[in-house]
Structure 1
């Protein structure tokens, strides 16, 4: 079970999924090679040996990066597992490097520095359903 976050470009005034116009198509994040280079620079320990499915690991969490094989790249989906608020640091670092927003797919809200409620809600749900993460 993962907490899913999508990295995408949004209009400046959007703060939640409800505010995204129905006909909105995000601008691409960039050419695939440029997106992968930005990821590698933002998170140097990311394993991009499979460029379509990168991975980042720490002692308390892991993040799969679904970059896909399309060129240009419209969005990057992050599948996050683990515990602790440190997992948000690479998420925000990736969003900044790609000049985009990080949208919590479960809560429908943008992830911003210090905003951890969606991650905490996910962990509580996961622990209730599956037992505490070890």
Structure 2
């Protein structure tokens, strides 16, 4: 069973995706090329042989990155299996992106250790 997470840039005060106006268009995360380079730098084992869909496998689980081919990239959907929350925490801290649970729409907050 997988778990979905959406990575976006939104104002800091936003706690749920439902707070955003219906016509809200988030600022881009970056160009497709910049996003791919950044993810490869932060997560060297990620496989982007298909630039719109990356896969990262770890001993604890896996993450699939659905980026699409839209340029610039406005959001990334992650499909999570296992215990990889520390990787998501790292991504958010290093990129200033925000993570939202795709089922509930609630923003994810991370402690010092990524929990």
Normalised by the length of structure 1, the TM-score is 0.76
Which has a greater percent of helix? 1
Provide the C-alpha distance between the structure 2 equivalents of 1:29 and 1:41, rounded to a whole number of angstroms: 16
Greater RCO between the two (CA within 8 Å, min separation 6)? 2
SS of the residue corresponding to residue 49 of structure 1 reads: strand
Report deviation, 1:96. Answer: 2.9
**Mapped partners of 1:97, 1:47: distance in 2:** 19
TM-score (norm 2): 0.88
Where structure 2 has 5 or more consecutive residues not aligned to the other structure, the ranges are none
Give CA-to-partner distance per residue, 1:21-78, whole Å, 9 cap, x none: 2221101111111011111112121112221110111122111001111111111100
Greater CA radius of gyration, 1 or 2? Answer: 1
User: Does 1:40 pair with 2:40?
Assistant: yes
2:71 counterpart SS class:
coil
Give 1:95 deviation, angstroms. Answer: 2.3
> Gapped runs of 5+ residues in structure 1?
117-134
Aligned-pair Cα RMSD in Å: 1.6
How do 1:4-43 residues align onto structure 2 when only pairs under 5 Å count? Answer: 4-43=4-43
Within 2, Cα distance between the matches of 1:52 and 1:4? 17
